[in-house]
Structure 1
Amino acid sequence: MPSIGLFGGFGLSAMAKTGPVDYFYLTTSTEDFPRLLQIFITKYGQPTKRTTETVKTKGGGEFANEYLQWQGKKIEITLQKYDGDINTSSASLNTIASKNRAVQDTGQKIQDAAGKL
């Protein structure tokens, strides 16, 4: 994989349901989160939304999880300091069109299921 400035390594996946790529999902070590955040701030400016919530581990430890979001006309980017466990940070890039399709698909599935009652 190409070097993107993260020292702990990274994983990258993509999804394309109907042609162009709908989303990219990047994971890296939480040690690289500050560097990952700086890469996105340098490229896209300050996030349009930033929230923090406390997460607890099974062992009882508590950590402040950061969610940062950039909302554009066509793309939404979300960074998460702790994603699934305390060792993994993530960045997801979603097209707005794919998010809208997912909402419509979910609504259609609910209607279809309700029609079977």
Structure 2
Amino acid sequence: MAAPKGKKMFSAEKYLDTGGVVVGAIILSIVVLFLIIQEVREILFYKRNNWNFDVDSNVGLRLYNGDSTDEKDLVSNKSRVCFGTPFMIFGFGVLLTACVAIILSK
């Protein structure tokens, strides 16, 4: 929705006319923030427990190996905290960066 010829768009209007990228950026921001908070809580939990990954923090998401949802296919606590969640933060952060770059290029 462009402004008619001769009329200026308000500064915020150009960002609202981005075809849903703003909504995507907001959702990705919430996801990245949630994952970062979750990772910090897990790291603090395991630091308080002397890095004993045998104890489950019950804070983070349950990650599975492959497509299975069987208990035997759960990723270990150490793998989840050290690799799984940081990888998800990185992946969603890259997508968020792309959305922000698209928004700011308008």
* Same fold per superposition (TM over 0.5): no
Structure holding more helix per residue: 2
State the TM-score, normalizing by the size of structure 1: 0.25
> Between Structure 1 and Structure 2, whose CA radius of gyration is higher?
2
